[in-house]
Amino acid sequence: FYIQVVRYPFYSKVASQQHVVSTEIMPKRGAIFDRNMRVLAINLNSDSVFANPYFVKDKRKAARSLAPILKESESYISQRLSKDKGFVWLKRKITPQQSEAIKALKLDGIEIVKESKRYYPNQSMACHVLGTVDIDNTGLEGLESYYNKYLKGEAGWIIGTQDAKRKVLESYQDQYIPSKNGLNLVLTIDEVIQHIAERELKKMYEKYHAKGASIMVMDPRNGDVLALANLPNYDLNDLSIRPADALRNRAINDFFEPGSVFKIVAASAALEEKAVDLADTFYCEYGEWHVGSRILHDHKPHGTLTFKEVIELSSNIGTAKVASRFGAEKMYEYMKAFGFYEKTGIDLPGEVAGMNRPVSKWSKVSMLAIPMGHEVTTTVAQLACAISAIANDGVMVRPRIVKEIVDDDGRVVKEFPVKTGRRVLSSDTAFKMRSLLMGVVQQGTGKKAKIEEYNVGGKTGTAQKIEPDGTYSHGKFVGSFIGFAPVEKPALAVVVCIDESRVVYYGGDVAAPVFRYVVDESLKYMNAKGTIVGQRL
């Protein structure tokens, strides 16, 4: 009577804990596809090994046998097998070879279970875009983190009865709640263009032993990011060998002084405000202009240049004199209009906006430095949006990297519409800027960006980096090129930045060739119509 009636609640609970078990059913994480439904990330079945220490008869022997297979220390395995638990992980997501070797041992209390493991078929491709997951398939970085709530799915449960050896008896399942698989991301990234961009960037990065490099390829008409890559990179399938300097997405996490590529802002402002005409002339002081206590230099000495030549030949002195015609307030206004005081809104974690001061905090010499890209900071993503505004008839576009979210049957669950931003320039000014930047490539500093079958426009940049003591370095530079093609109807806008290349560092030498090969192959892949080089707009 005492056991069955008085102590019934206690013994009933003990019995339930011994025989009733709830097993979590993990969902399949959603896949990630490129714009043409090529797989970029997917989940595959993988074996994991666990132990029930209560049933391991000879723990020392088991540890000695398992340690070399699992590539763990014998002391670690022994410590796991000594736990007073009925379930302990020994190692999760092991290789098929490891699994077969463990099964061959036929050790009591050692079991293999199927789990789901994230797999990236292209290894390092788009690693900073895709990001990583942890051992439980929870997103940690990149899109895996940003869209984790869509990708991860919902776990299910089986509540059933187990025997004395803790084996679930399928005929005694009391409740079954199925798991819900994660949803799939369809990106704007094009795997082919991504491959081209990464290949060409790597060539230049390795050739000149650069510290880092970034490239971003956008469709200027709608903001679709067709490729985004950084170096150094890493293998998404093997994070154990990932170097520390490969962790961040430089294109959105790093800001830097852009140098002469920023002259597109001063040039656009001058034309929009009708402060200059293309034929207006400026005396460029033969490369050395004394302004108070400041001396402004050009990389090559020039006498009198037209406004068109000032931009084509990238004269710092000429650009400063152009900017003096409209003043600091207008310069600040156009910097804001081009988006250099805000984040682009790209759907990737960790984007920064740079550190740019309001005009009230500019110094007396800021209008000498800012128009040529000093005393101002930007990111690769911001530059991509800025050059896209010129390519897109003066209208700013917001970058988009995810097109839609779909379920396993292909039904669209969520769409991400094109985000058209504000008008930055009039259509007429944008047209003049495209013509001006085409001249930079045809007869200016960007000749190494020239392509046989397409007219392209762009701007070179070479910026001195700032040393820890606040002075400009004489040995560390960021070489860049920003541009678009075809000029007549731009389908691509590209930004290339090479950080601290050795020996050769000018943007026209290290970044322009990368632009050339990426744009040439990408346009041919896209079947874009070409034009005769030099043909007038």
Q: CA 500 to CA 346: how far, in whole Å?
A: 26
β-strands 168-169, 420-423 pairing: unpaired
CB-neighbour burial class of residue 10 (10 A; exposed 0-12, middle 13-18, buried 19+): exposed
pLDDT at 534: 42
Contact 233, 250 (CB under 8 A): no
312 three-state secondary structure: helix
SS3 453: coil
Residue 79 host element (H or E): helix 74-81
Q: For residue 345, what are its two tokens?
A: 């809104």
Is 268 annotated as catalytic?
A: no
pLDDT of residue 536: 44
pLDDT at 531 over 60: no
Task: Quick: pLDDT tens for 10-27.
Answer: 767 666 556 665 656 668
pLDDT in tens, 280-338: 999 999 999 998 878 999 989 999 999 999 999 999 999 999 999 999 999 999 999 99
- CA 7 to chain centroid: 63
pLDDT tens-digit profile of 105-114? 888 888 887 7
Nearest by Cα to 74 from 88, 59, 84: 59
pLDDT in tens, 212-225: 999 999 999 999 99
Measured N-to-C along each axis, helices 316-323 and 263-272 cross at an angle, to the nearest 10 degrees, of: 40
Tell me what pLDDT residue 276 has. 95
Q: Which helix (H) or strand (E) element contains residue 15?
A: helix 8-19
Asked whether residue 70 carries a pLDDT value surpassing 50, the answer given is: yes
pLDDT surpasses 90 at 32: yes
Contact 440, 448 (CB under 8 A): no
Query: Max CA-CA distance within the chain?
Result: 112
pLDDT at 454 over 90: yes
pLDDT score recorded for residue 219:
96
Neighbour count for residue 451 (Cβ, 10 Å): 20
Per-residue tokens: 325: 């015609």
> Omega into 232 within 30° of 0, i.e. cis?
yes
CB 515 within 8 Å of CB 496: yes
Choose from 6-15, 125-134, 523-532 the range with maximum mean pLDDT: 125-134
pLDDT at 34: 96
Tell which residue, 478, 449, 446, has the closest CA to residue 460: 446
The residues near 5 (Cβ < 8 Å, ≥ 6 apart) are: none
From residue 335, give the alpha-carbon distance in Å to each of 190, 240, 373.
Answer: 31, 42, 11
Name which residue leads in pLDDT, 79 or 193: 193
State the DSSP code for 26.
P
Q: Which residues of 28-45 are buried (b: 16+ CB within 10 A; e: fewer)?
A: bbbbbbbbeeeebbbbee
CB atoms within 10 A of CB 417: 9
If one compares 275 and 23, the residue with the highest pLDDT of the two is 275
Q: Which listed residue (65, 116, 124, 260) is catalytic? A: 260
CA 79 to mean position of chain CA atoms: 41
Q: Which one-letter amino acid corresponds to residue 194?
A: Q
190: number of Cβ within 10 Å: 23
Neighbouring C-alpha atoms within 13 Å toward the C-beta of 63: 14
Is residue 403 within 8 A of residue 419, CB to CB? The reply is no
Question: Left if phi > 0, otherwise alpha if psi is -120 to 50, otherwise beta: which for 40?
Answer: alpha
Cβ atoms 513, 532 nearer than 8 A: no
pLDDT at residue 44 in the model: 83
- More confident: 425 or 168: 425
Q: What is the pTM of this model?
A: 0.84
* 267-285: burial string, b at 16+ Cβ within 10 Å, e else: bbbbbbeebbeeeeebebb
Name the 3-class secondary structure at 513. Answer: helix
Q: State the pLDDT confidence band at 519, using cuts at 50, 70 and 90.
A: very high
CB contact set of 140 (below 8 Å; sequence gap of 6+) = 131, 132, 133, 134
> Is the pLDDT assigned to residue 457 strictly greater than 70?
yes
**How confident is the model at residue 323, as a pLDDT?**
95
